[in-house]
Amino acid sequence: MSAKGRTTQRLDKVLSNMGYGSRAELKKLVKQGGVVVNGLPAKDPGMHVDPYRDVIEVEGEKLLYREFIYIMLHKPPGVVSATEDSRDRTVLDLLDKSYLIYEPFPVGRLDKDTEGLLLLTNDGKLAHELLSPRKHVPKTYEADVAGRVTESEVRLFSEGVTLDDGYVTLPAELTILSVEERDDGPLSKISLTIHEGKFHQVKRMFEAVGQKVVYLKRVRMGELMLDESLPIGSYRELTEDELAILGKPGAMDPLDNKK
Ligand code: URA
């Protein structure tokens, strides 16, 4: 077991996931003595290693394995916020497979048709801090709502609305950005900050006041803002500044891999 309590993994799996070649290529490389584990040439590509602890060298190059990764994804519609799904593509399918070795997972869920900010990490503690119902981490959404959103809804949301299951939401900040008159009726563009994360919460809050969300995008989670220069469907690792905002400065530095 590693420092994180994970089980060990096959050497060839670790290396292929990190882009060092296919299983077949790695088999050959191991046979040629090109992979050294803790100072000894590896004999079996299937040997189990702990990439966090074992010192692995590939053709003399020391493998730098990090403990945590933090990825900002601009989630597109049509993919599910899960690590696996029998029917739909998941957000993990959007990542380069070299990231999968870190076993990232989405921090919370966005609906399949919702776009926007989704953090992917393997840092369970951070995920808990952002998701714990007791922390009331604010999440800001932008939405298109069919109909005319008025100051009356702004007031209702600021007091908390009763959802279909009887749950009364915490006060939420609703801002009306614009109301467009269209041939098929008014369309309101709004921004909404909620301090909890009930299932389909934004859509259900509008349903509670007789309105329908037709487009939804998350733009902020806690202090983390969606990088609007990130094209939809793409991702990047968090910057040092963003990590500092989350209280994780230096968190992406590679492990020294020293025992
Ligand atoms: N609220 C919703 O209704 N859907 C989401 O995806 C997120 C918040």
35 and 58 in contact (C-beta within 8 Å)?
yes
What pTM was computed for the model? Answer: 0.83
* Mean pLDDT (whole number) for 56-79: 92
Whether domain 139-221 has CATH 3.30.70.2660? no
Question: Is residue 253 pLDDT above 80, yes or no?
Answer: no
What are the pLDDT digits (tens) for 86-105? Answer: 999 999 999 998 788 889 99
- Dihedrals phi, psi of 59, to nearest 5 degrees: 45, 45
Residue 245: DSSP 8-state: H
Q: pLDDT band at 259, cuts 50/70/90? A: very low
Q: Where are the domains of the chain?
A: 9-62, 70-133+226-245, 139-221
Q: What is the pairing mode between strands 212-221 and 115-121?
A: parallel
Q: What does the pLDDT read at residue 66? A: 78
pLDDT above 90: percentage of residues in the chain = 79
Residues with catalytic annotation? 111
Q: What does the pLDDT read at residue 256? A: 56
Q: What does the pLDDT read at residue 1? A: 43
Q: Sign of the C-alpha dihedral, residues 97, 235, 139, 157?
A: negative
CA distances from residue 254 to 15, 16, 133, 134 in whole angstroms, order as listed: 16, 18, 32, 32
Return the SS3 of 257: coil
Q: What does the mean pLDDT of the chain come to?
A: 92
Q: pLDDT band at 128, cuts 50/70/90? A: very high
Mutate to test the pocket of ligand 1, among 157, 200, 204 (most ligand atoms within 8 A of CB): 200
| Angle at alpha carbon of residue 90, lines to 73 and 140, rounded to 5° | 40
Candidate CATH numbers 3.30.2350.10, 3.30.70.580, 2.40.50.140, 3.40.190.10; the one for domain 70-133+226-245: 3.30.70.580
122 and 102 in contact (C-beta within 8 Å)?
yes
The verdict on the CB of residue 202 being under 6 Å from ligand 1 is yes
CATH number of the 9-62 domain: 3.10.290.10
Question: Is residue 2 pLDDT above 70, yes or no?
Answer: no
The verdict on the CB of residue 169 being under 6 Å from ligand 1 is no
> Residue 255: which of 20, 43, 54, 42 has the closest Cα?
54
- Amino acid at residue number 43: K
- Dihedrals phi, psi of 117, to nearest 5 degrees: -70, 120
The verdict on the CB of residue 200 being under 6 Å from ligand 1 is yes
Q: What does the pLDDT read at residue 181? A: 95
Mutate to test the pocket of ligand 1, among 91, 109, 110, 144 (most ligand atoms within 8 A of CB): 110
CA distances from residue 32 to 41, 59, 108, 161 in whole angstroms, order as listed: 9, 10, 45, 67
Q: What does the pLDDT read at residue 92? A: 97
Ligand 1 atom with the smallest distance to the CA of 213 is 3
CA of 203 to the centre of ligand 1 (A): 6
What are the pLDDT digits (tens) for 45-58? Answer: 999 998 878 999 99
Atom 7 of ligand 1, nearest CA residue: 110
CA of 76 to the centre of ligand 1 (A): 14
Domains 9-62 and 139-221 share a fold: no
User: Of 46-60, 71-85, 131-145, 163-177, which range is least confident?
Assistant: 46-60
